[in-house]
Amino acid sequence: MKSESGFTLIEMLIVLVMIMVLTILIVPNMFKMIQKYETNAFFKQLNSDILYIQNETMSQAKEYRIVLQANQQYYYIINFENKIVKEVKVPEGINYSNVQTTIKFNVRGSIFNPRTIYFNDKETAYKLVLPLGKGRHYIEER
C-alpha cells in the first residue's frame, strides 16, 4: 500500500485561524495608513494649488481663486472669467471650519484676506495659515 502524505483537518484549521488573526491585526492599520496617505496627498495638492493661483494672478494680472465650501466633495480653482479651471476631490472624512472660504491674491502676490483655516480628519487637526503679505502659507498639524 502506498503511503500518502497530506495535511490533516486540524492542521488546516490551525493555519486558517493564524491567517485570520493576522488579518484582524493588519487590516485596520492598513485603512489608517491609506487614510493618512490620502490626507497628505490632499494637503500637498492644496499647497500646490495655492502657489499656482498666486503665480497665475501675478503673471497674468488677473484674479484666480480657490473656493472651499463646507461639506463639499471638491474644492474649485476659478479663473478671472468665473470658469472652473480645476476641481479637486476632498478625501472623505476631511472637514474644514468655514462655511465658504475663498483664497485669492492681488497682482503683487499678497493675499487678500489673511487668515487661518482649520481642517479635521478622524484623528488629526490641521491648520492652513495664510499670513499677511507675500509670506509663504504653511500647513501644520495641531
In this prediction, residue 1 carries a pLDDT of 59
Q: What is the DSSP letter of 117?
A: E
**Contact status, residue 137 vs residue 50, Cβ threshold 8 Å:** yes
Express each pLDDT in 35-53 by its tens digit: 899 999 999 999 999 999 9
Q: What does each of the 142 residues of the chain score in pLDDT, given as a tens digit?
A: 566 777 889 999 999 999 999 988 888 888 888 889 999 999 999 999 999 999 999 999 999 999 998 778 899 999 999 999 999 999 988 888 777 789 999 999 899 889 899 999 888 999 999 998 777 899 998 8
- The C-alpha cell 487678500 sits at 112
Encode pLDDT of 49-65 as tens digits.
999 999 999 999 999 99
Q: pTM value? A: 0.81
Strand partners, 128: 117, 139
